[in-house]
Amino acid sequence: MLFLLKITITPVLVALMSLAARRWGPTIGGLVMGLPWMTGPILYFLGLERGEAYAADVAVGVLVGTICIGAYIAVFAYVAKHAPWFICLSCAALTYMVTGYATSKLGLSLWVAAMSAAASLLLAFLITPRVKDAGGLRVLPWWDIPARMLGTAMLVAFITFSADHLGPELSGIVATYPVILTIVATFTHAQWGWRAAVQLARGVSLSLLSFVAFFLVVGSMAESIGLVWSFVLATLAALLISSLLIFFSQRRRPAEPESVKAAD
């Protein structure tokens, strides 16, 4: 059930995030991308199947994985300026796995994991260079979005089957891998250039603060007020933070060049 949910919903989300980045630019696309589009529904179904306590434990694991995503973003943004997309992807993926293995040994509590995740994301945001001009965007072929969706489905399948053959610690690391960010950032770098990829990564690093808030609320309240209400409050918290981030981002940044729509 969860595998079918991942392999059907995730490619659709990648398509929507890609269209958002084209319509509103990589910064806003990145801010929207950080919401728990995939992990949130999956955690909800896990909670229904295995109970609130299990959902709270998984929320801690997701927050630990978010620490690794901060490291992933920082490395991807740094390497993007100096190397092609496949080098960026390789370096970021290696950084994620090494960081994930190290943090899995620490046994972090919910609040420590949440604060560490927020600190990791803020550090990634601060060290990621601010790019004012994403450069000219070229016309994209009709098959661009389907190719992204296919690549996403293949990556989700690989991660899911890999996690099934690993121990609980490593499987948790692999399961939290940033699939949507990987696909969208890689295509952005290959098609629009490193400046757009860095803008996207910078936006995601901020947006994931709403992601942290979501899982902090679920992890701290699922057992006390129930799964449904904890998810309602978590969703409201995530939407509030994301809306504030988009509002202040729109006020402070200059207008970005309008993205080029895909060719017919």
Q: Provide the residue type at 54 as one letter.
A: Y
pTM: 0.79
* Residue 79 · residue 87 · CB < 8 Å: yes
Distance CA 3, CA 117 (A): 26
Nearest to 198 by CA among 122, 130, 118: 130
> What is the phi-psi region of residue 25: left when phi exceeds 0, alpha when psi lies from -120 to 50, beta otherwise?
left
What are the structural domain ranges in the chain? 2-18+25-252
Residue 107, helix vs strand vs coil? coil
Q: Which is more confident, 25 or 226?
A: 226
Q: Helix 227-252 crosses helix 2-33 at what angle (to 10 degrees)?
A: 30
Judged against a pLDDT cut of 60, whether residue 257 lies above it is answered with no
Q: How large is the C-alpha radius of gyration of the chain?
A: 17
Tokens linked to 207: 């947006």
pLDDT band with cut points at 50, 70 and 90 for residue 197: confident
Candidate from 35-39, 44-48, 190-194 with smallest mean pLDDT? 35-39
How confident is the prediction for the chain on average, in pLDDT?
80
* Residue 152 · residue 179 · CB < 8 Å: yes
pLDDT tens, residue by residue, 98-156: 998 888 888 889 999 999 999 999 999 998 888 765 555 555 566 677 877 787 777 77
Which value, to the nearest 10 degrees, does the dihedral of the CA atoms of residues 200, 205, 207, 210 take? 160
Distance CA 67, CA 120 (A): 6
